[in-house]
């Protein structure tokens, strides 16, 4: 359909740009991924990241610890990577197994290599409006809108969800772009009443079809970040078949925000490489 924002296509464009600049400017970006335990979904995500890195020319290193490995030895590995001038990005594959202090481990990553944008300091910098590394899914939403020529300034953005990976950073990013921003969540009364005000509606809840067409204004731009597996296949938060008839632009799940998230990780890594000596 004409009004579908094709995340896969936009993602490929960006990866191709990254690949070109890595090749012709002879950049040598590298990323280190720390994984603890053998969570199946994590294995898949790590492989997906490795494949994407290989594709554009980012050197990928994978450090896999067994579940039960001491937190201290993981911290020591992070510190070693912080100090390694040949490593530009460091991420910890989440979720960690029970018993590990996620916040402590994430905050051990030096801010200049925090390509997931999750340390407290980078979060604080984002809130105070300074240039910093931004969580990949949130960055993906803004990038999709910009590459689709959606004007954000002065628009009313409604975020459904308040999670730290997507909606909390998006509040800041949309305010920085001069949007009016509303944040809804499970405690919001009459969700549809609020979402009908959205010029740009972003949903990151993880409940299949929670956004139906009566909840969307004619001509709205709809970005679906939700991922659900309930129906046996991957779906988003939005009743796509019906909402797409009202929206001026809309993402589809799969093929919307998903492919963009890893791409933003690649972009952040190249950014860190280019800024490594500043």
| Contact set with a copy of itself (CB under 8 A) | 103, 119-125, 127-130, 153-154, 156, 162, 164, 168, 171-172, 175, 178-185, 187-189, 194
- Cβ–Cβ contacts within 10 Å for residue 84, how many? 14
Of 95 and 124, nearer to a copy of itself (C-beta) is 124
Compute the least distance from the CB of residue 102 to a copy of itself, in Å.
10
User: Does residue 100 sit in helix, strand or coil?
Assistant: coil
Question: Nearer Cβ to a copy of itself, position 53 or 78?
Answer: 78
Contacts of 9 (CB under 8 A, 6+ apart): none
Work out how close the CB of 66 gets to a copy of itself at its nearest, in angstroms, rounded to a whole number.
Answer: 28
Alpha-carbon span 241 to 249, nearest angstrom: 13
Q: Judged by CB, which is closer to a copy of itself: 172, or 263?
A: 172
What is the rounded distance in angstroms from the CA atom of residue 214 to the CA atom of residue 192? Answer: 7
State in angstroms the smallest separation of the CB of 216 from a copy of itself: 17
The residue from 35, 93, 155, 199 that is catalytic is 93
The pair of structure tokens assigned to 6 is 């094709």
Residue 51 annotated to the active site: no
Residue 181 or 266 having the CB closest to a copy of itself: 181
Say which of 114, 116, 199, 239 is annotated catalytic: 116
Nearer to a copy of itself (CB atom), residue 9 or residue 185 = 185
Smallest gap from Cβ 170 to a copy of itself, in A, equals 12
Active site residue 114: no
Starting from the edge strand earliest in sequence, which strands make up the sheet with 89-92, in order? 59-65, 30-36, 89-92
- Residue 186 CB, nearest approach to a copy of itself (Å): 8
Picking from 176, 177, 219, 178, the residue whose alpha carbon sits closest to that of residue 201 is 219
Cβ-contact 236, 246 below 8 angstroms: no
Q: Is the peptide bond before 214 cis (omega within 30 degrees of 0)?
A: no
Three-class SS state of 189: coil
Any catalytic annotation for residue 233? no
Q: What is the DSSP letter of 33?
A: E
Residues catalogued as catalytic: 49, 93, 116
């Amino acid at each position: 359909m004409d009004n579908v924002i094709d995340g896969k296509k936009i993602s490929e464009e960006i990866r191709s740009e990254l690949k070109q600049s890595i090749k012709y400017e002879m950049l040598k970006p590298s990323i280190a991924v720390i994984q603890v335990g053998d969570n199946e979904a994590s294995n898949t995500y790590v492989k997906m990241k490795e494949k994407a890195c290989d594709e554009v020319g980012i050197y990928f290193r994978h450090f896999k610890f067994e579940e039960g490995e001491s937190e201290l030895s993981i911290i020591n590995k992070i510190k070693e990577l912080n100090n390694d001038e040949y490593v530009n990005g460091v991420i910890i594959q989440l979720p960690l197994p029970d018993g590990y202090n996620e916040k402590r481990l994430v905050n051990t990553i030096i801010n200049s290599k925090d390509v997931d944008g999750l340390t407290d300091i980078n979060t604080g910098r984002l809130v105070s409006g300074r240039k910093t590394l931004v969580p990949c899914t949130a960055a993906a939403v803004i990038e999709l809108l910009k590459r689709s020529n959606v004007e954000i300034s002065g628009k009313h953005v409604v975020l459904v969800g308040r999670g730290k990976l997507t909606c909390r950073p998006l509040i800041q990013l949309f305010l920085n772009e001069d949007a009016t921003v509303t944040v809804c969540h499970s405690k919001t009364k009459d969700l549809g009443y609020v979402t009908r005000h959205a010029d740009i509606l972003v949903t990151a809840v993880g409940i299949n079809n929670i956004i139906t067409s009566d909840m969307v204004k004619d001509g709205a731009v709809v970005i679906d970040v939700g991922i659900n597996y309930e129906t046996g296949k991957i779906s988003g938060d939005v009743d796509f078949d019906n909402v797409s008839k009202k929206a001026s632009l809309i993402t589809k799940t799969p093929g919307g925000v998903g492919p963009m998230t890893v791409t933003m990780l690649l972009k952040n890594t190249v950014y860190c490489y280019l800024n490594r000596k500043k």
